[in-house]
Amino acid sequence: MQDNQSNPRARLPLWAAHERLALWTTRLPLLAAVLLGGVACTVQALEQVEPLSLKALVGKRMFFDPALSGSGKMSCATCHDPNNAYAPANGLALQMGGARLDQSGPRAVPSLRYKDNTPPYADLADNPDGVSAPGPGGGFMQDGRADTLAAQAKLPLLSFNEMANKSAADVVAKMKRADYREQFLQAFGAAALDDTKLAFDYAAEALQAFQKEDISFHPFTSKYDLYNSNKIGGDLTPAEARGLRVFLDPNKGNCFACHYSGAGLNGSVALFTDFSYAAIGVPRNTKEQPAGAARPGHAPVYDLGICGRDDHAGPKNKQYCGMFKTPTLRNVATRKVFFHNGQIKSLTEALRFYNTRDTQPALWYPKVNRRVRKFDDLPAPYQPNIDAQAPLDGRKAGSKPPMTDEDLKDLEAFLDILTDGYVVPAKQAAQQTAK
């Protein structure tokens, strides 16, 4: 237990008299856990506070059930690995799915963490930052096609190159055979599996409930959370503090312009996304492509993001072509592949892309006839959609990049503290209380 005398602010006699003071001013999850009957209460030891509802409990069973797939071998958790921030732990740009697990999925798999405050998609969504003009924002999947987590859950279940169930009826039939069938009926009613459409809706609702309620989907246990919520252990190192400045500097990283770190919707804070969409011209991933993207004798197929959606097709939606959703940067350091097509393989490389896409495009794009073919994954008519904000501000090749190598190192150090599950080193906690 920390001695309260070591806290510089605790100079009032009042404090010395209070035995519970230590909980207030120091890091004591253990004692808290004991006193609260096993429920730890500090940020560092965040645990499920509210018990999961019946719907969420059955959703949890479904989430981990490989029987709910065409292959019988793939559950939600196969790609959305709970031990890796609900994102793949491997380095594949595209995960393998389908009835025989031999089909590449359509896009790099995102983390399922911190989705619960995402609003439905709108072409003119209000930006949660209170600064940016309304624009495309919100929705689930990287093109926003699903309005809710429930709607989203149905898509991979039925997608031929993911979980590859034949139909909603196919999923419901499997649910009827599942050993959590009774639990499901308890949660949604005795007739919940009788009508296929309703049953499939309930299944999606269960998966949504699990993701919304289970704290593992939004643990907020990073070092940044300690910093941002005034907790012991949240003191930034000099490199992290410099990195935060790069992150916020509109002329350097300008990261927060999209990976918004302020107060947001529904009381959320620091989600590191504003749910907006941007076309940033990620290079084409020619090595790892979804089935049919590059067939000999056929024109290449481009993933056009929002305007690839049925409801956003055609010339009148061309201003949305190439735009993909801004992901949260929480747990970004645990990712193995980056951007919608997984072309970039490390955080260091991703930051370099932001810094030198324009100043050294040859590092990123192929040469055709000795000329760099910039934005090779976005057809020319859509290239005006490319976002012009710093650091991707379209500066000239050969000009000075927005960030120095030191800036990049610092920025990466900062992004490292967005990883959940941070444990304050005992020494650091002691130092912070003592200083």
Would you say 229 and 222 are in contact if contact means Cβ atoms under 8 Å apart?
A: no
With respect to another protein, which residue has the nearer C-beta, 115 or 174? 115
Give least dist CB 26 to another protein, A: 7
Give least dist CB 258 to another protein, A: 12
Q: Residue by residue, what is the 3-state secondary structure of 179-198?
A: CCHHHHHHHHCCCCCCCHHH
User: Encoding tokens for residue 220?
Assistant: 């907020």
Would you say 91 and 99 are in contact if contact means Cβ atoms under 8 Å apart?
A: no
Q: Which residues contact another protein by CB under 8 A?
A: 7-10, 12, 14-15, 18, 20-21, 23-29, 32, 35-36, 41-44, 46, 49, 129-132, 215, 218, 220, 225-226, 228-235, 244, 248, 250, 256, 260-270, 432
Give least dist CB 119 to another protein, A: 11
With respect to another protein, which residue has the nearer C-beta, 120 or 379? 120
Residue 153 CA neighbour count, 13 Å, CB half: 27
Q: What whole-number distance in Å separates Cα of residue 239 and Cα of residue 252?
A: 16
Q: What whole-number distance in Å separates Cα of residue 117 and Cα of residue 398?
A: 41
Give least dist CB 74 to another protein, A: 31
CA dist 44 → 6, 227, 263, 402 (Å): 21, 12, 21, 35
**Dihedral-angle region of residue 398 (phi above 0 means left; psi in -120 to 50 means alpha; beta otherwise):** left
**Which residues are 146's β-sheet partners?**
140
Give least dist CB 204 to another protein, A: 18
With respect to another protein, which residue has the nearer C-beta, 267 or 297? 267
With respect to another protein, which residue has the nearer C-beta, 68 or 244? 244
Residue 376 CA neighbour count, 13 Å, CB half: 19
User: Encoding tokens for residue 348?
Assistant: 């260091």
With respect to another protein, which residue has the nearer C-beta, 10 or 172? 10
With respect to another protein, which residue has the nearer C-beta, 29 or 110? 29
User: Encoding tokens for residue 178?
Assistant: 């599942």
Give least dist CB 433 to another protein, A: 8
